[in-house]
Amino acid sequence: MIAPAETGTRIEAWFDDHGLPYFTGDHADRVEGWLSSKRIVAAIVLIIGVSITIGVAVGAVWADQGSVGTFVGVLVFLALLGLFAGRLLRMGTMLRWAARRTFGSLGLMFPLLTRALPLLLLAVTFLFINAEVWQVAALMSRHVLWLAVLFFAVIAVVFLLARLPEEVRRVEREVVGDRVAERCVGTPAEEASRSVTALPADLPRFARVNLVLVLLFNQAIQVLLLTLGLFAFFMVFGSLTIPDGTVEAWTGETVTRLPSALGRHVPVTNELFQVAVFLAAFAGLYFTVYAVTDETYRSQFFAGLSAELEQAVAVNAVYVSLARDPH
């Protein structure tokens, strides 16, 4: 029989491998200590200060394009915040697990995507051949375009964060009684689940946040793959069907070509690239809203994740029981 201390160590390694670092008490306590102390405020203030300084400096260099400084400042802020979150909050661990799971089950994504793609393609293809959309998207400056994409992404994340906690709470309620031992099969907690009083303990706040973030990253990667696919579709479709003369008539401007890394121009107009980026990002937002509001899609999507969420809750119940009664 494996000693409880060794079982606990193996469970902690299992948590880490499955993108669940907050299920380990020591790390959760360390993160909570950081977030509840003045150090987090100092870190955020420092990040904001560096971002503003760089943004102002860039804006001073391009004095006639002040919005460039704002764009660069936002990028620096997001990069530093992401680095800080990745190191301290270990979000990189969750993101790596979500990426492995998504790319390991691409075949399961196809039936889900086909539910949303028909209406999605009808909507965005109609917008793609609309002159007003070209006048707006094609004539944006490049940094304003990326800010618009970022705005769509933020709205999508807000929609997901509003609905994903409901799924975590539902799974948490269902893992009771004999289901704890059933869900521990194939995990380091399997043997201990039969010998300890593994009463389902309420998930700690940070463990619940961990599950929400895992779901968020998993859904975000799916949306990103869909967005990239639609971007490629628009680029090919536009190159084949929309001549330069039509683009000039819609936008009232002479078309320009995208520069390549070798200094030459690629056979794609800058206007087509910008419209494709804008509509692909909009389609990603549309798909995200559909994913969290359509009950059939949600049930199919979470059917594949519910078993893994239940397993995490069950293993946590055993882990907590071992910590309470190590003998």
Question: Looking at the predicted structure, is the pLDDT value of residue 63 above 60?
Answer: no
Q: Which residues pair with 257 in a beta bridge?
A: 269
Assign 162 a pLDDT band (cuts: 50, 70, 90): confident
Fill in the DSSP letter of residue 203: P
pLDDT at residue 278, rounded to an integer? 95
Assign 253 a pLDDT band (cuts: 50, 70, 90): confident
The residue-averaged pLDDT of 305-317 equals 83
Determine which of 1-5, 41-45, 216-220 has the lowest per-residue pLDDT on average.
Answer: 1-5
Question: Looking at the predicted structure, is the pLDDT value of residue 327 above 60?
Answer: no
Question: Looking at the predicted structure, is the pLDDT value of residue 275 above 90?
Answer: yes
Question: Looking at the predicted structure, is the pLDDT value of residue 219 above 60?
Answer: yes
Assign 262 a pLDDT band (cuts: 50, 70, 90): very low
The residue-averaged pLDDT of 130-145 equals 88
**pLDDT (tens digit, 9 = 90+) per residue, 68-79?**
677 777 788 888
CA–CA dist 69, 58 (Å, integer): 5
Distance of CA 35 to the CA centre of its chain: 22
Question: Looking at the predicted structure, is the pLDDT value of residue 197 above 80?
Answer: no
pTM: 0.78
Query: How far is CA 226 from each of CA 25, 39, 282, 298, rounded to the nearest angstrom?
Result: 36, 39, 11, 17
Max avg pLDDT among 30-39, 217-226, 261-270 = 217-226
CA–CA dist 283, 230 (Å, integer): 8
**% of the chain residues with pLDDT over 90:** 9
Q: Which residues pair with 265 in a beta bridge?
A: 259
Question: Looking at the predicted structure, is the pLDDT value of residue 160 above 70?
Answer: yes
DSSP H or E segment with residue 80: helix 66-88
Question: Looking at the predicted structure, is the pLDDT value of residue 322 above 80?
Answer: no
pLDDT at residue 231, rounded to an integer? 92
**% of the chain residues with pLDDT over 70:** 77
pLDDT at residue 28, rounded to an integer? 65
The residue-averaged pLDDT of 155-183 equals 84
Question: Looking at the predicted structure, is the pLDDT value of residue 294 above 50?
Answer: yes
Assign 33 a pLDDT band (cuts: 50, 70, 90): low
- Of 14, 270, 222, whose CA–CA distance to 98 is shortest? 222
Q: What value does the CA radius of gyration of the chain take, rounded to a whole number of Å?
A: 24
More confident residue, 266 or 119: 119
pLDDT at residue 295, rounded to an integer? 73
More confident residue, 301 or 262: 301
pLDDT at residue 325, rounded to an integer? 58
- The length of the chain, given as a count of residues: 327
CA–CA dist 313, 211 (Å, integer): 9
